Amino acid sequence: MNSLVVAKFGGTSVANYQAMQRCANIVNQNTSTRLVVVSASAGVTNALVALSKGALSEQEQQAQLDGIREIQSNILAELASPKKVLKQIDDLLAQLSEIAMSDNLDTNPLLKDELLSFGERMSSVIFAQVLNELGIKAECFDAREVMKTDNRFSQAQPDLVQVKSHVEASLVKKLSETVIVTQGFIGSDDESNTTTLGRGGSDFSAAILAEALAASELHIWTDVSGIFTTDPRITSNARAIPEISFDEAAEMAIFGAKILHPATLIPAIRSGTRVFVGSSREPEKGGTWVLKSPENRPAYRAIALRREQTLLTLKSPNMLLASGFLANVFAVLARHKVSVDLITTSEISVALTIDNPSNSNTKVLSQGLLDELAEMCQVRVEDKLALVAVIGNRLQETHGVSANILSCVEQHNLRMICHGASQHNFCFLIEESLAGSVITRLHKVLFEQQS
Ligand code: ASP
Ligand code: MG
């Protein structure tokens, strides 16, 4: 372990020139920061996703492309020496337009991922120039040279062994000479096709690179000053948490705190990298440290919300006293690469929740999957649900946890309750439209009344 810091700046942190300058100052203030991972400027990936669906009219296509060009041009216009990167950005925009116009885009996952990669490829070139103009020696580096992944386009998984060996071969030496700016979110498969790691994947990229480099710290700069007791947009009484354990943060990320990509902590936990989350807009406000062993471990730490949940209920009399039914169900889900979050079962049915984000590039529950399940059991799909999770410590041993939590939802119908698997989590599924008011109430009872 060395004192190397990997800093990741999210889409809003590199949304425009002023935002990029604030990030450059952050890099400047910590000489241990050698590797910088950037997202696409805010709005760009959404436009690319819209283009990648291939269903737009020519006019709509052009409008999306113009929108992307405008975001980049506005930043270039404020650079002291835009000429140094103008040609590169123009070339990237030209390639992007060409791919966006190709006929087979909607049926070609390879091409889609290539298209989705342009946001990060442009923001990284520009950000390296912003650093240079601030007097910091910096170079842009193509992440695809080191971020080797499988070929599950749009959801690619990095291969850590390969990433490590490529990082050692082509990145480590460079880092001793200059700050390196690279792209989050993108990688490449064995055949050098561009892949992407899934929406919000830049955090994960940064964490994988931090692990591969045995970095001591990973700094995630976003637009909020750390992890809060709950989303401050839901209740203004939410407050920042100074330190949180990996276990708690992992539960929070998985249960919807949008601050960290859920997979981010896996490499950090493996490698023991300390993770800091702060706001690039207000770095002086501090943020949250995610650590292996934080000093205090209160029963209630935070309330997380995950919207856009789908509940899949499978019912079959064959389940009664039979063995192997669930194994078959999960084999089908695994074959379709569906990731299940929560599970409850009764004697003859099983209910599962599945994350179904509307901005995703692929439909999670395909007709093929539903047909296969329907051959085994009755299938029911319910949407517009939200998961509310209370995160903390020793929840199984603390008196009154269930009563405290359930007293806040006595007016409502819960679709599912999950507690028992983890000491750090108690969660339930509720109609999405009720989630905000339920969380406000929970926050009062769990956090405001005691203090
Ligand atoms: N630009 C990608 C996205 O918006 C990846 C990221 O920002 O983490 O999903
Ligand atoms: Mg992001």
Q: Are residues 213 and 305 in the same domain?
A: no
Specify the pLDDT at position 257: 65
Ligand 1 atom nearest residue 202's Cα: 8
Q: Is residue 250 part of a domain?
A: no
CB 155 within 8 A of CB 362: yes
Q: Is residue 281 part of a domain?
A: no
CB 352 within 8 A of CB 311: yes
Q: Are residues 212 and 307 in the same domain?
A: no
CA of 222 to the centre of ligand 2 (A): 8
Which residue is listed with tokens 């509307």?
Answer: 358
Strands 217-222 and 274-279: parallel
Instruction: Please say which residue of 178, 199, 223 terminates a domain.
Output: 223
- In 3D space, the residue among 174, 165, 204, 171 whose CA is nearest the CA of residue 10 turns out to be 204
Q: Are residues 39 and 170 in the same domain?
A: yes
Q: Are residues 217 and 305 in the same domain?
A: no
CA of 50 to the centre of ligand 1 (A): 14
CB 287 within 8 A of CB 374: no
Instruction: Please say which residue of 223, 240, 259 terminates a domain.
Output: 223
Condensed to tens digits (0 to 9), the pLDDT of residues 29-80 reads: 999 999 999 999 999 999 999 999 878 899 999 999 999 999 999 999 999 9
CA of 25 to the centre of ligand 2 (A): 20
**Domain at 11, CATH number:** 3.40.1160.10
Ligand 1 atom nearest residue 203's Cα: 8
Dihedral pair phi/psi, residue 357, rounded to 5°? -65, 135
With the most atoms of ligand 1 within 8 angstroms of its CB, the residue from 199, 222, 260 to mutate is: 199
With the most atoms of ligand 1 within 8 angstroms of its CB, the residue from 36, 38, 45 to mutate is: 45
Q: State the total domains in the chain.
A: 2
Ligand nearest to the CA of 205: 1
Closest protein CA for atom 5 of ligand 1: 200
**Domain at 353, CATH number:** 3.30.2130.10
The per-residue pLDDT of the chain, averaged, comes to: 93
Q: Which domain holds residue 352?
A: 301-448
CB 237 within 8 A of CB 448: yes
Residue 361 has pLDDT above 70, yes or no: no
CB-CB neighbours of 445 under 10 Å: 14
Q: Is residue 258 part of a domain?
A: no
The one-letter amino acid code at 337 reads K
This prediction's pTM? 0.85
Cα–Cα distance, 169 to 196 (Å, whole number): 22
Residue 318 has pLDDT above 90, yes or no: no
CA of 329 to the centre of ligand 2 (A): 33
Q: Is residue 126 part of a domain?
A: yes
Give the pLDDT band (50/70/90) at residue 420. confident
Cα–Cα distance, 130 to 80 (Å, whole number): 9
CA of 346 to the centre of ligand 2 (A): 38
Q: Is residue 165 part of a domain?
A: yes
Length of the chain: 451
Q: Are residues 180 and 313 in the same domain?
A: no
Q: Is residue 237 part of a domain?
A: no
Residue 211 has pLDDT above 70, yes or no: yes
Specify the pLDDT at position 450: 59
Q: Is 40 in the pocket of ligand 1 (CB under 6 A)?
A: yes
Positive or negative, the CA dihedral 265, 266, 269, 270 is negative
Instruction: Please say which residue of 179, 196, 223 terminates a domain.
Output: 223
Give the pLDDT band (50/70/90) at residue 93. very high
Token digits for 282?
């207000």
Q: Are residues 212 and 333 in the same domain?
A: no
Helix, strand counts (H, E) of the chain: 15, 16
Specify the pLDDT at position 359: 64
Q: Is residue 270 part of a domain?
A: no
Q: Are residues 176 and 52 in the same domain?
A: yes
Specify the pLDDT at position 291: 93
- Between 290-304, 353-367, 375-389, the lowest mean confidence (pLDDT) is in 353-367
Ligand nearest to the CA of 45: 1
With the most atoms of ligand 1 within 8 angstroms of its CB, the residue from 36, 39, 49 to mutate is: 39
Specify the pLDDT at position 54: 79
Q: Is residue 414 part of a domain?
A: yes
Residue 321 has pLDDT above 90, yes or no: no
Q: Are residues 59 and 206 in the same domain?
A: yes
For the stretch 255-273, what's the b/e string if a residue is b when 16 or more beta carbons lie within 10 angstroms of its beta carbon?
A: bbbebbbbbbbbbbbebeb
Ligand nearest to the CA of 259: 2
